[in-house]
Amino acid sequence: MEELLRKITAHAEDILIEGGRKVAKPYRVVAVAAVLKNPWVGRGFVENLKPEIDAIAPRLGEFLVPRLLEIIGGADKVEAYGKAAVVGTSGEIEHASALIHTLRFGNQLRQAVEGTSYLSFTNKRAGPGCSIDIPLKHITAEGTRSHFLTTTFAIADAPGADEIVVALGASTSGRPHHRIGDRYEDMKEMGVDQTGKAAA
């Protein structure tokens, strides 16, 4: 996998003021990304993507998860997480999806932070300097709206036409001054169950 990897980037924000008001507990949002050559470009339509998924996705997790946790201050600091992939213009969106929609990749972060929620995600095709958005959600309480966040960054020279950017994101808390309640509160008030149907 290392022969495909061009570089790893990191982006971090420490939020101190939101809405003109000081944040009681400053929080950090971090994203790390790998820029790698698309292993399927130039081969025509590849029916079976699994050999490359099995070979590359676990290694990407091994590269990215420790960097993410180091920048954010440790696994115990992570309250929300997510992932993203962007394929260059010579590839398919399926190529981006292949490397992040596998337990061989996502489980490495989920297990490291003792999460149970699936990682929110985006996957798309775009060119160098595009906006890379990573939606985040609480690592265990999926309906906790305070942790519905998006971290956004860009890499000036990636993805190239024959590249894929694979990224992970995390935050140390939810939105500052969050005050819209949780999905669970709505369910209780509306008398509905987990599916949105009226509770018996």
Instruction: Give the CATH number of the domain where residue 111 resides.
Output: 3.30.1330.110
Q: Is residue 55 part of a domain?
A: yes
| pLDDT tens-digit readout, 104-129 | 999 999 999 999 999 999 999 999 99
> In the chain, which stretches have pLDDT less than 70?
193-200
Q: Is residue 199 part of a domain?
A: no
Among 36, 96, 74, smallest CA distance to 170 is for 74
CA angle centred on 79, ends 183 and 120, rounded to 5°: 65
Q: Is residue 86 part of a domain?
A: yes
Tally the domains of the chain. 1
Q: Is residue 197 part of a domain?
A: no
pLDDT for residue 187 = 72
Which tokens sit at 89?
């213009």
Domain holding 162, by residue range, is 2-190
